[in-house]
Structure 1
């Protein structure tokens, strides 16, 4: 093998340094209380990953508004009331040399039916017919609500900085609110927030600007952005490249490339099964787009999805198309995998398709969330993951837990 580029450090545009090129990408943990407060299970989980040698660790969804949850058990940061636990969470990883970034998010319309009193979106566009039973049709956000959301992103980022997190990542992918504003399918507004690609980009640029205003120039701010939505009338590669250029001009520090939404789950691997053999051999799902993005910007790029081997990761880094290798599902079944990869050895575990055997569920890609979330819960309890756990059993247990979690969340909100 040529030199193991995974071990090389990386200097970000703002001067910050990642100790190596291996990152843990965001995965939903759902380990908060039903009142959406961080727990010691998160501290334990991230301590485990912090000890693995990772250069960058990105948390799962941290929501910015208790009225807008993506699932029961989301952490929400609205004020400093949970600062002590947030500080322990940050220290669990940073004390071991890793950078820990909080991924900040708002779900928009992409939230299970019944969890929130109302779901806001750029426009009142329902989900496709076979998903309508799971997701409400959202209400179009007012200008005042849009401005409030922007301010909440900035406030949450400032609290993360105070707690000792190394940076934040804006979640602008996978069909959540910022992605919805970028997409002409979801954003059908004809005001200052929609109608043209430039106006659809305004929301994400204003979110970034507000975060930067509240955290300053030296605090790393990254973004997770779709290469494309992979659905008719959605966010395209051309629009994504233009968005990358705009974010680079604004001063973003790291761009993670992904793709897909709940309605077209490219990020889960389901849509990748029909890739050409030559493309599959390169492992990474979005490497082709990263090559295009490299032509549009010199801002560091991170690619997540599909990487299997140390050789594949090194080949991608040697190509120059990306600067950081993102891993997610592998770290749910082998939290110590980075230690091996940094020595040029592959993990003994292999990511496999997870199926419940229920076609409607499997088609939505939900198993790629619920099954792995269960593994993270085990690690957070100090237990070993179960790579052989049944997909159907995991799904049924998750349905029960989600139903109970939705009920408890709504009860607690009603008492507040």
Structure 2
């Protein structure tokens, strides 16, 4: 089959029009991964430009950035990029053009970590309620303080301001990170949110924060700028956010005008995207590849908003089967693009990547159960690409953990020192 013929018949290669009228050139998206490629005072770097040029050159339709924080006082890890003013507008423009000049859309994923920030990085961590991490994780994460009403309002306004700056810089859209146990997910979860005021209690009150964030972003960027959300299907945590509440939240977001929903699941304490939890899935789910396809089918039965599904895809056939089912509209790839940044070029022609995503293990059981290497190991590969090099698909998990631990410790120290000077 010729390349032109395969592109005509390959569902992955078909365009997608979003509700606001903007167009994605195909159905492949690079999902968000932790990059930690900012400076230790949280500014973007030219390494991000190099990395995103590489991804955009693969022909992929949509690129979602890694976590971009909205407040320098609330970092998730050393090296996070923070957008809270226009001081870095020139390099933000270069970052945006790295993708858009090659025809790819690039959306900034905006986030606030809430309690999910490692010990010592921030002066204090806030969350909906002062709920500690489980005992085996308490050595890594402090118990947060309950956010005040004034702090909640400030965070809402910061999301809107950061989104407006991203639009001015030339990015194609925004994704709100409402999954994986970060602050918005914490507000949605009855486990983390034990408030009795307007921001907690009933499911309607617990999703009030997310809807306020969305409304403020929409107010500042306008109706024609794409705004998406990454949302958990469930937290997979006792007393956490359930599928039923997720469906109700999705309906509220669709009613409010959201342009795309990316379905995911889990938190730091229950990492659904890691191989550990997915190894327990039944054989029929494994055969369909995607981790959350059954939930996507439930969403599709309820609403017609464009859906993006990330996690578990291994082959072009599996991706095209998910699209052909009508349950999803966009296929999200993350870890594969850290070990094969050129994979979309093959997939768009109906061919599989030569690389295979594998579970990364250190041999240290508590570390492996937390799923941390699904972040740390892949971040190292992204750093290599950002330097103009190639990833090392066979790098030792234990060696990567030792490197990452040293880098994180040094990064935390430097971040705190730089903050103290300012």
Q: TM-score range by the shorter chain?
A: over 0.9
Q: Which residue in the other structure is 1:276 paired with?
A: 282
Deviations 1:243-283 (A, max 9, x none): 00000000000000000000000022320101111110000
Deviations 1:291-342 (A, max 9, x none): 0011121000000000000000000000000000000000000000000000
Distance, in Å, in 2 between the alignment partners of 1:403 and 1:311 is 42
Distance, in Å, in 2 between the alignment partners of 1:270 and 1:355 is 10
Q: Which residue in the other structure is 1:408 paired with?
A: 414
Q: Which residue in the other structure is 1:61 paired with?
A: 67
Alignment of 1:15-164 (within 5 A): 15-164=21-170
1:336 aligns to 2:338 (yes or no): no
SS at match of 1:395: helix
Distance, in Å, in 1 between the alignment partners of 2:417 and 2:263 is 38
SS at match of 1:266: coil
Distance, in Å, in 2 between the alignment partners of 1:116 and 1:170 is 22
Q: After the TM superposition, which segments of 4 or more aligned residues of structure 1 sit over 6 Å from their partners?
A: none
- 1:355: how far off? 0.4
* Contact 2:274 2:359 survives alignment (8 Å): no
Q: Which residue in the other structure is 1:301 paired with?
A: 307
- 1:3: how far off? 2.9
What TM-score, normalized to structure 2?
0.98
- 1:109: how far off? 0.1
Alignment of 1:185-264 (within 5 A): 185-264=191-270
Distance, in Å, in 2 between the alignment partners of 1:3 and 1:127 is 49
Q: 2:12 aligns with which of 6, 27, 39?
A: 6
Q: 1:382 aligns with which of 381, 388, 408?
A: 388
Unaligned runs of at least 5 residues, structure 2 = 1-5
Alignment of 1:300-319 (within 5 A): 300-319=306-325
Distance, in Å, in 2 between the alignment partners of 1:119 and 1:296 is 37
Distance, in Å, in 1 between the alignment partners of 2:9 and 2:249 is 34
Distance, in Å, in 2 between the alignment partners of 1:29 and 1:242 is 32
- 1:4: how far off? 1.1
Distance, in Å, in 2 between the alignment partners of 1:269 and 1:248 is 31
* Contact 1:154 1:207 survives alignment (8 Å): yes
- 1:199: how far off? 0.2
Distance, in Å, in 2 between the alignment partners of 1:54 and 1:159 is 24
Q: Which residue in the other structure is 1:363 paired with?
A: 369
* Contact 1:62 1:105 survives alignment (8 Å): yes
How many corresponding residue pairs?
Answer: 416
Supply the RMSD in Å over aligned alpha carbons.
0.8
SS at match of 2:273: helix
* Contact 1:174 1:267 survives alignment (8 Å): no
* Contact 2:296 2:307 survives alignment (8 Å): yes
Deviations 1:104-156 (A, max 9, x none): 00000000000000001000000000000000000000000000000000000
Q: Which residue in the other structure is 2:3 paired with?
A: none
SS at match of 1:110: coil
* Contact 1:269 1:306 survives alignment (8 Å): no
Distance, in Å, in 2 between the alignment partners of 1:388 and 1:155 is 41
Distance, in Å, in 2 between the alignment partners of 1:117 and 1:270 is 33
Distance, in Å, in 1 between the alignment partners of 2:173 and 2:338 is 22
- 1:231: how far off? 0.4
* Contact 1:332 1:376 survives alignment (8 Å): yes
* Contact 1:153 1:211 survives alignment (8 Å): yes
* Contact 1:269 1:305 survives alignment (8 Å): no
Distance, in Å, in 2 between the alignment partners of 1:268 and 1:274 is 11
Distance, in Å, in 1 between the alignment partners of 2:273 and 2:142 is 23
Distance, in Å, in 1 between the alignment partners of 2:102 and 2:51 is 13
